[in-house]
Amino acid sequence: MPPVKINLIAAQSKTGKTTILEKLLPELKQRGLRVAALKGNLAHYDLDFPGKDSWRFARAGAELAGFTTPDNFLLIGTGGADAAEEMLQDMDLIIIEGNKKSINPKIEVVRSDLSREPLLLANTVAIVTDREDLNPGIPVLNINDSAGLADFIIGNFFNSKVEGTSTAGKLTHFDSSGRPRMVDVSGKGETLREAYARGEITMAPDTFSRVMAGSMAKGDVLGVAQVAAVMAVKETGRLIPMAHPLGISGVEVDFNPVKNESKIEIGVRVKLTGQTGVEMEALTGVSIAALTIYDMCKAVDKNMIIQNIRLVEKKGGRSGYYSREQS
């Protein structure tokens, strides 16, 4: 198969693209990829000084000229990136720094100190940034998380045969021997994480009316369910075996009664600044809120149905922004 080609771009220079690429290459190599890195659009570089042997060879008609050492080589030729890519067909991945006009998938670098908004050119697949306020509708990756960027590239452009990946078809909660484990997140940077989950419980019309009137024997059903959801969010690390105990910074619970369907829709939004996401916390909050409603109403209605518990939205982390409506 031909190599995957990706362009690392930015709206302007001095965004640290070279540094990002420098840190990314060892991560990709560790995962078993053969990677070539090229500079795009080198009009302002003088790599082949007039009068030098390689320059003289090229002027004499050599399609490629260059020099070698016992360990390395440098080739100079005509034809730009296209010609260079043709020479690299045995690579797994070619990353080209620059060239915003490329038709290849692009990863854009956005720096807060340069006060620029993303270009979001055609075929941009992710943003690498130190900003926490971006919500472009595509994955947003931390500028210091080289491992996360490597995982993103492998997860989106390669298959599960690539070693060492956590996103390319491999379940990260199992080790190389197939035994369960808690994923080590110590190498991740702390970013703002947020998740919103929803679910619903359907009941008999009379039960619905009594819940809304606050006349159930056990008291204020939705008030107790709200407290239960918050408690469940904080206890998720104890309830889900491989979930991390987290210092949650905020929980919001909402109920939407739908009278004509005798159901109550439940929403839970969870936030924190940390090294791992809060999807499980939001989903657990919804689940326990629904179970609490069931418990408080089961004496009069055992036919209630809890259903459609799902993640609606998440922000932050390696995979960036997710919306069920956009997936």
Average pLDDT on 69-90 reads 70
Give pLDDT tens digits for 85-144.
677 777 888 888 888 988 889 999 999 888 678 999 999 999 999 988 888 888 999 999
pLDDT over 90 (residue 255): yes
- Continuous H helices in the chain: 17-30, 53-59, 80-86, 146-157, 205-213, 221-239, 279-297
pLDDT over 90 (residue 260): yes
Give pLDDT tens digits for 302-324.
999 999 999 999 988 766 778 88
Mean of per-residue pLDDT scores for the chain:
83
Which of 165-169, 173-177, 292-296, 323-327 is predicted least confidently? 165-169
Q: Which fold has domain 4-157?
A: Rossmann fold (3.40.50)
Catalytic residue at 254? no
Distance between CA 271 and CA 249 in Å, rounded? Answer: 6
Q: Which one of the listed residues 92, 175, 295, 301 is annotated catalytic? A: 295
Burial 124-153 (b: 16+ CB within 10 A, else e): bbbbbbebeebebebbbbbbebbbbbbbbb
More confident call, 159 vs 303: 303
| Nearest CA among 240, 232, 296 for reference residue 268 | 232
Q: What percent of the chain has pLDDT over 70?
A: 79
Contact 39, 45 (CB under 8 A): yes
More confident call, 58 vs 4: 4
Q: Which fold has domain 191-326?
A: Alpha-Beta Plaits (3.30.70)
Average pLDDT on 162-177 reads 47
pTM for the whole thing? Answer: 0.52
For the chain, the domains span 4-157, 191-326
Cβ neighbours around 35 below 10 Å, total: 22
- Predicted local confidence at residue 278, as pLDDT: 94
| Nearest CA among 216, 199, 158, 211 for reference residue 284 | 199
Which of 20-24, 107-111, 173-177, 265-269 is predicted least confidently? 173-177
